[in-house]
C-alpha cells in the first residue's frame, strides 16, 4: 500500500491545530473509507487558545515562529529542550544538532 499521497495531503495542511486538525481527520477518514477499513470516529470538544503575539529571539535576532505557549522563557545555551520541565511549562523543542525549532505540543 502506497501512503505517499496520504502523507502529502496531511503535510500540506501544516500543523494540525484547530480547523487544520478537523481537515486532517477528514482526510484520514476519507482514506480509511476508500480502503474499506472499519473505524469509529471519536469526536470531542476542545478549546483552542487564540495567539495574539508570538515571537522568538535567538542571539538577539528575531526568528519566525508559531505561537504555542502562554508563558515566556529562555533556552540555556547548547541544551536540548522538550515539553515540560519542573515547574516551568514550555513547549519549544530545540536540539543543537538541527537548525529546526519544533512546536511539539500542537
For 33-92, how does the pLDDT look when each residue is reduced to its tens digit (9 = 90+)?
999 999 999 988 877 777 788 787 777 888 777 776 666 666 666 555 555 555 555 455
Q: Look at residue 99 and give its three-state secondary structure.
A: coil
pLDDT in tens, 22-48: 999 999 999 999 999 999 999 888 777
Q: Which helix (H) or strand (E) holds 19?
A: helix 19-34
Annotate 19-29 with b (16+ C-beta within 10 A) or e (fewer).
eeeebbeeeee
Q: Please list the residues that pair with 92 across neighbouring strands.
A: 103
Instruction: State the CB neighbour count (10 A cutoff) for residue 13.
Output: 14
pLDDT band at 14 (very low <50, low <70, confident <90, very high): confident
Q: Look at residue 28 and give its three-state secondary structure.
A: helix
DSSP H stretches of helix in the chain: 4-13, 19-34
Supply the pLDDT for residue 105.
43
Amino acid at each position: 500500500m502506497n501512503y505517499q499521497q496520504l502523507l502529502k495531503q496531511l503535510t500540506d495542511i501544516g500543523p494540525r491545530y484547530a480547523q487544520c486538525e478537523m481537515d486532517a481527520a477528514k482526510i484520514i477518514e476519507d482514506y480509511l473509507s476508500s480502503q474499506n477499513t472499519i473505524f469509529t470516529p471519536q469526536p470531542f470538544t476542545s478549546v483552542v487558545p487564540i495567539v495574539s503575539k508570538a515571537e522568538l529571539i535567538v542571539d538577539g535576532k528575531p526568528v519566525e515562529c508559531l505561537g504555542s505557549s502562554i508563558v515566556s522563557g529562555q533556552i540555556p545555551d547548547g541544551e536540548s529542550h522538550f515539553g515540560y520541565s519542573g515547574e516551568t511549562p514550555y513547549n519549544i523543542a530545540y536540539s543543537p544538532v538541527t537548525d529546526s525549532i519544533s512546536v511539539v505540543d500542537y
